[in-house]
């Protein structure tokens, strides 16, 4: 049995890299829906449909534990997958109680934010992530006295994918997006998107030392390690050959370059179709 990692595209490789750094011994299957990325501006129904197909594919690759690394899919689809689809899927396939789990990235990051924040938490993410209010709701459940201020930052994914990290344009865009959060004196900022760790240094530079910037890659890796420690019934069944497989729904020169930049020089993608 393997661990599946799903993202709308290749940004999830940034999260997977942090996970593998912490837990290299397991077998991982990565799936990036590169033919249909970005999910960030899509409707909830569409994101749910696409995510279901992806999780189904990963289940069929012997991944009983699937992590949705995509913030947009975690925000818009995870709850419905856990509450409605998973029980149905289990009935249809006769594997009820067979321990299939689907986890997302919102909860671990929210738990960390609740630990470190005293007053105000800022959240940046795609339009889908922000409009779902997933972070606001989860933080409200854990620590209702925290104020949560959100801003959608849709231009960051294309800028990061273009590699415009040090560019003046990116700095200007970041300053404009972050101004509203800086003006209200947040003490913690959640980077609510697979890609944003790439801009972490620049974001920290703008927000200043008084703001704790939370990077989901490191937090999700920590939380997975903790989860596996608490669930020995799952951990004991996981293959430990450090075998990593990468599936995508479209391959191009651009995607290959992103894979090499964000994961490793020798990343090899296999193209599959989701339905």
Active-site positions read 70, 193
Length of the chain: 275
**Could you tell me which of 11, 155, 23 has the C-alpha nearest to residue 73?**
11
Kindly state the tokens that stand for 33.
């829906």
Question: In this complex, which beta carbon is closest to ligand DGL, that of residue 89 or of residue 113?
Answer: 113
Residue 178 within binding range of ligand DGL, rule CB under 6 A: no
Under a CB-based contact definition with an 8 Å cutoff, are residues 129 and 191 in contact? no
Residues 89 to 128: which contact ligand DGL by CB under 6 A? 125-126
Rounded least distance, CB 103 to ligand DGL, Å: 15
Residue 18 within binding range of ligand DGL, rule CB under 6 A: no
What is the SS3 assignment for 135? Answer: helix
Residue 259 within binding range of ligand DGL, rule CB under 6 A: no
Among 16, 58, 70, 267, binds ligand DGL (CB under 6 A): 70
Residue 77 within binding range of ligand DGL, rule CB under 6 A: no
Among 54, 123, 157, 219, binds ligand DGL (CB under 6 A): 157
The percent of the chain in helix, strand and coil, each rounded to the nearest 5, is 50, 20, 30
Under a CB-based contact definition with an 8 Å cutoff, are residues 122 and 150 in contact? yes
Under a CB-based contact definition with an 8 Å cutoff, are residues 132 and 76 in contact? yes
Q: How far apart are CA 13 and CA 258, in angstroms?
A: 9
Number of residues that bind ligand DGL (CB under 6 A): 18
* Residue number of the CB atom closest to ligand DGL: 40
Residue 263 within binding range of ligand DGL, rule CB under 6 A: no
Among 4, 28, 38, 188, binds ligand DGL (CB under 6 A): 38
Rounded least distance, CB 251 to ligand DGL, Å: 17
Under a CB-based contact definition with an 8 Å cutoff, are residues 128 and 39 in contact? yes
Rounded least distance, CB 62 to ligand DGL, Å: 24
Question: In this complex, which beta carbon is closest to ligand DGL, that of residue 72 or of residue 150?
Answer: 72
Question: In this complex, which beta carbon is closest to ligand DGL, that of residue 7 or of residue 27?
Answer: 7
Residue 132: which residues within 8 A CB-CB, separation 6 or more?
44, 75, 76
Rounded least distance, CB 41 to ligand DGL, Å: 7
Residue 9 within binding range of ligand DGL, rule CB under 6 A: yes
Which runs of consecutive H residues, i.e. helices, occur in the chain? 12-22, 44-60, 71-76, 78-80, 86-93, 106-116, 127-132, 134-142, 156-161, 168-183, 200-207, 216-230, 232-235, 253-262
Residues that bind ligand DGL (CB under 6 A): 7-9, 11, 37-40, 70-72, 125-126, 129, 157, 193-195
């Amino acid at each position: 049995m393997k661990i599946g990692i799903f993202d709308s595209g290749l940004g999830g490789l940034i999260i997977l890299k942090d996970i593998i750094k912490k837990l290299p011994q397991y077998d991982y299957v990565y799936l990036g829906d590169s033919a249909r990325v970005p999910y960030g501006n899509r409707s909830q129904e569409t994101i749910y449909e696409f995510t279901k197909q992806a999780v189904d594919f990963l289940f069929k690759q012997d991944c009983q534990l699937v992590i949705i690394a995509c913030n947009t899919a975690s925000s818009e689809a995870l709850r419905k997958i856990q509450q409605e689809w998973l029980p149905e899927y289990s009935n249809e396939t006769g594997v009820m109680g067979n321990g299939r789990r689907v986890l997302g990235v919102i909860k671990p990051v929210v738990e960390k934010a609740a630990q470190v924040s005293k007053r105000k938490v800022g959240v940046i993410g795609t339009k889908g992530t922000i409009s779902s209010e997933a972070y606001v709701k989860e933080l409200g459940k854990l620590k209702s006295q925290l104020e949560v201020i959100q801003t959608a930052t849709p231009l960051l994914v294309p800028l990061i994918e273009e590699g415009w990290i040090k560019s003046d344009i990116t700095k200007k865009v970041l300053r404009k997006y972050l101004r509203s959060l800086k003006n209200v004196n947040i003490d913690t900022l959640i980077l609510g998107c697979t890609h944003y760790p790439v801009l972490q240094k620049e974001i920290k530079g703008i927000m200043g030392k008084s703001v704790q910037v939370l990077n989901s890659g490191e937090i999700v890796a920590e939380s997975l390690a903790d989860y596996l420690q608490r669930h020995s019934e799952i951990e004991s069944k996981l293959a430990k050959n450090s075998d990593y497989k990468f599936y995508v729904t479209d391959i191009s020169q651009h995607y290959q370059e992103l894979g090499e930049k964000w994961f490793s020089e020798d990343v090899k993608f296999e193209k599959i179709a989701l339905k």
